[in-house]
Amino acid sequence: MRKFSTSVTLMFRELPALERFAAARNAGFDKVEIQVLEAGPADMARETGQAGVSVLLLNVGMGDFLTGGPGLIGTPGREAEFVLELGKAFDVARALDIPLVHLGPARIPDGMTRETCLATLKKNIAAAVLASKNSSVTLLVEPLNTADMPNVLLRNIDETAAMIRTEFAGKIWLMFDIYHVARNGQNVLETFRRNRDLVKHVQFSDVPGRHEPGTGSLDFEFLFAGIEAEGYAGFFGAEYMPSRPTAETLGWLKTLGGRQ
């Protein structure tokens, strides 16, 4: 049976943050993802335990990225802020036994060059690798797309994979987001095949709009089956913005091979 996780940051937002864990479980998910921390680890541990779900993935704090700013990981001068957020994420990952930690996205600030920001990003990745040395977490980076974010720092999955292979082999891995790859105009399956060796997690939403499957142009059964044919046996993470109340958008969970 195909395995799905769900974002409790983008989805189930009709409910307060701590109630989303039970809602996710009632909808058929036993793994959730947290892109933005909205509660303390003790409260989340209690609610996930009561709901019978576990957290699969956590993002390191992104600073001002979600409000249009450059974020932390690739912004010169914000290294101390990144390290602080990294420590918070590792504390939560330990408390909730979270296996995957995404190091966060970045934009290129006005007046700075991409090369300077990439150097900062690599410095911060190295700090994260060192900080995770005695941890069991798997560190991920995720290229986004230039159609939605023209000034995004990590903007191409092949380029990012080359950076990992050259400078961080065996230390960090790729999060493969079907939406961002397709939005960049790349062939999803061909791009996945080229980078299969680095992919530790797959996320999805439809194109365009970033809503649930069936609202756009992507054939998810074809894509999921093709990814699985390459040996991927991990979770597919639903990370979309529901076009209606979340529970009304989950018909795909049954038709695409989930638990509902």
SS3 per-residue string spanning 144-165: CCCCCCCCECCCCHHHHHHHHH
Amino acid at 167: E
Catalytic residue (choose from 115, 142, 221, 230): 142
Contact 237, 6 (CB under 8 A): yes
Q: Is-cis flag, bond preceding 109, omega within 30? A: no
Contact 8, 31 (CB under 8 A): no
87-123 burial: b if 16+ Cβ within 10 Å, else e:
eebbebbeebebebbbbbbbbbbeebeeeebbebbee
239 catalytic, yes or no? Answer: yes
Catalytic residues: 142, 239
